[in-house]
Structure 1
Amino acid sequence: MQVRSGTPIEWLVPLAFIFCAGWVVWHMPAFLLDFVPPDTESQFNRLAAQLQRNDVSPEMGGLFGGFADIIDWLAVVGMAVFGVIGVRTVQRAGMEFESWRAIDRVAVFIGRVTMMLVLLLTLVMLYEVVLRYIFERPTLWANETSLWLAGFVFLCAGLYAMQQRSHIRIVLLYDVVPRWLQRVFDTISTVLIVAFAFFLIYGGYGEAFDKFYRWETFGTAFDPPLPATIKPTILVIIGLVAVQAVINLISDWNKEEVHYGGEDLDEEEIERIKAQVGNEGVGDLDVTGRHVKAKD
């Protein structure tokens, strides 16, 4: 994967994907009513009421006699199209992990989407601050939307961190053992990650499906479907993290030497301090602050 600086497509495609995904999620009751209608009349009426309250385009009738209209279906198609375009066009930034397989593009594109979610989260918070403290007209939706976006950012960032090998490591023992033993450690950690993901998905699938099927909402004035979306996303992301851990193991298997300790050392900063201190060492100088100064 080639290295290149930020281009408009790297901003626009994730934003378009987020817009389409947000539209589909907000109108999910229409798809549930079309494909998996509830068994009870009360649940059916509840989903219909949610759709009526949240529908952005109520003037448009459902396609083929259903509840989801043409814009809803275009949003579904847009999610697929922009997802494929994003995965195929994503490029490695200069500071990102160098060795990428084609399948790593999925995690990297999700990382790009996460970055755009952080931007949107910041804009929502700024908008609420301006309205609340300048115009004294706070919104009903900004707080829950911030929580909603932050939940997705927290989850998706974990997948990106796994692909980038930037998660927290304790490498005191790992860095001093031979490569064959490092491979043993890598295999054990990957097996544990996959086992954890399996049991989490196995144990949480029923609850996640129930929340999604009932389209459980947050119960506030804005009433977004946080439980119906966050719980299934947890299981999806943890499954992708397990897959990514296996991919990392395969990608790093043939590396001759792997040392993670000291990666965060800034060589330029070290050389700057050396130049300031000189060849005679620190002596009576205090180098703990921002600038080198004489000790008191």
Structure 2
Amino acid sequence: MEEKSGSLVEWLAPLAFILCAGWLTWHLPAFTLSWFPPKDPSQYDKLSALFARIDVTDSMTGLFGGYADAVDWAALLLLPVFGIIGVRTVRRAPMEFESWKPLDRLAVFIGRLTMMLIVLLCSVMIYEVILRYVFEAPTLWANELSLWLAGFVFLCAGLYAMQQRSHIRIFLLYDMMPRWLQRVCDIISTTLIVTFAFFLVYGGYGEAFDKFYRWETFGTVFDPPIPATLKPMVLLVMVLVAFQAIVNLISDWNAEPVIHTAADDIDQDELDRLRAAVGADGTGDLDVTRGSIQSNTPGKS
């Protein structure tokens, strides 16, 4: 697959998706109050008061008789649009795994989102450090926002790692097995992953839904909805990981067996550097750090 990766649309689609998802996540209580309002009056009043406090566009009136305004609806409608564009336009980078089924494209797109979230997370931390230690004016939201973003990064990176086959695996016995026995081990490991995902969703759905429906917050001054969003996200990502494991099993079923060695941990650039340093006859003019080797041979500098 020789498709160029890194085009402009591959940057804009994930960025637009993150902006819409961030806005929609912050204003999700508007849709809960509009579509599935709590039947308990005290819980309804608590959720409506919470939304009134966090509403960014509180000057705008809700559409269709609900709490969600035009910006909220625009974010809701554009989110799947940018998601579809992102999945369809994402391209495999040269160092990424070659499997490219529809679910693989979704996992790689989520990987791109994760990469951008890391940049956003680092930007928030740098901003907080500058304000705290240079201007002595720390923020009330940077720490909680960093925790929130780090949670999403951790979860989404797990799905990307599964698609890339870069999760931790021990090949000592696996490489010694014949191919048919390797397939048996692959079936067993995939079955265990799917079983774990099933029981995790089965046991955690009630708590996750309750936290989401009540829009449970973190309990700080900034008070982000970390429990309300990360709890359901854990279940969603685990379901995607289980499906990705099944896709990996199907994709790798007829693949040739791969023998893993210590050389797998050395990239091609490092190998080229070592060859240049050693040379064809066992000596070279450069060391492994690309620095020149100073020779004591007369007439050679």
1:203 paired to 2:203: yes
Summarize the Cα distance change of 1:260–1:83 in structure 2 as closer, same or farther, 3 Å threshold. farther
8 Å contact kept, 1:179–1:258: no
Q: How does 1:170-181 map onto structure 2 within 5 Å? A: 170-181=170-181
Q: How does 1:125-164 map onto structure 2 within 5 Å? A: 125-164=125-164
Segments of structure 2 that go 5 or more residues without pairing to the other structure are 294-301
- Counterpart-to-counterpart distance in 2, 1:82 and 1:64: 24
Aligned position for 1:212: 212
Summarize the Cα distance change of 1:63–1:202 in structure 2 as closer, same or farther, 3 Å threshold. same
- Residue 53 of structure 1: how far off its partner (Å): 0.9
Aligned position for 2:123: 123
Aligned position for 1:265: 266
Amino acid at match of 2:172: L
1:244 paired to 2:244: yes
Segments of structure 1 that go 5 or more residues without pairing to the other structure are none
- Counterpart-to-counterpart distance in 2, 1:79 and 1:35: 19
- Residue 60 of structure 1: how far off its partner (Å): 1.1
Aligned position for 1:70: 70
Summarize the Cα distance change of 1:256–1:140 in structure 2 as closer, same or farther, 3 Å threshold. same
Amino acid at match of 1:164: Q
- Counterpart-to-counterpart distance in 1, 2:254 and 2:191: 18
- Counterpart-to-counterpart distance in 1, 2:103 and 2:268: 33
Aligned position for 1:55: 55
Aligned position for 1:230: 230
- Counterpart-to-counterpart distance in 1, 2:50 and 2:204: 25
Summarize the Cα distance change of 1:288–1:5 in structure 2 as closer, same or farther, 3 Å threshold. closer
Summarize the Cα distance change of 1:45–1:179 in structure 2 as closer, same or farther, 3 Å threshold. same
- Counterpart-to-counterpart distance in 2, 1:99 and 1:216: 39
- Counterpart-to-counterpart distance in 1, 2:253 and 2:192: 17
Percentage of identical aligned residues: 66
8 Å contact kept, 1:2–1:91: no
Summarize the Cα distance change of 1:275–1:109 in structure 2 as closer, same or farther, 3 Å threshold. closer
Moved more, 5-14 or 111-120: 5-14
Q: CA RMSD in A?
A: 2.2
What is the TM-score of this pair, normalised by structure 1? 0.91
- Residue 231 of structure 1: how far off its partner (Å): 0.4
- Residue 289 of structure 1: how far off its partner (Å): 10
CA shift digits 1:112-135 (9 cap, x unpaired): 111110011011111111111111
8 Å contact kept, 1:218–1:225: yes
- Counterpart-to-counterpart distance in 2, 1:258 and 1:221: 53
- Counterpart-to-counterpart distance in 1, 2:272 and 2:83: 44
Summarize the Cα distance change of 1:276–1:8 in structure 2 as closer, same or farther, 3 Å threshold. closer
Moved more, 224-233 or 56-65: 56-65
- Counterpart-to-counterpart distance in 1, 2:146 and 2:277: 46
- Residue 191 of structure 1: how far off its partner (Å): 0.4
Summarize the Cα distance change of 1:60–1:276 in structure 2 as closer, same or farther, 3 Å threshold. closer
- Counterpart-to-counterpart distance in 2, 1:228 and 1:158: 20
8 Å contact kept, 2:212–2:232: yes
Summarize the Cα distance change of 1:77–1:279 in structure 2 as closer, same or farther, 3 Å threshold. closer
CA shift digits 1:221-261 (9 cap, x unpaired): 00000000000000000110000000000000011323344
- Counterpart-to-counterpart distance in 1, 2:69 and 2:28: 11
CA shift digits 1:61-119 (9 cap, x unpaired): 11111111111011011111000000010000111001211221111111111111001
- Residue 161 of structure 1: how far off its partner (Å): 0.3
Aligned position for 2:41: 41
What is the TM-score of this pair, normalised by structure 2? 0.90
Aligned position for 2:97: 97
CA shift digits 1:27-48 (9 cap, x unpaired): 1111110111112111111111
- Residue 280 of structure 1: how far off its partner (Å): 9.5
8 Å contact kept, 2:121–2:146: yes
- Residue 269 of structure 1: how far off its partner (Å): 3.5
Summarize the Cα distance change of 1:276–1:20 in structure 2 as closer, same or farther, 3 Å threshold. closer
Amino acid at match of 1:114: T
Summarize the Cα distance change of 1:259–1:134 in structure 2 as closer, same or farther, 3 Å threshold. same
- Counterpart-to-counterpart distance in 2, 1:217 and 1:7: 38
Moved more, 99-108 or 267-276: 267-276
Large movers: runs of 4+ above 6 Å: 278-282, 287-292
Summarize the Cα distance change of 1:164–1:77 in structure 2 as closer, same or farther, 3 Å threshold. same
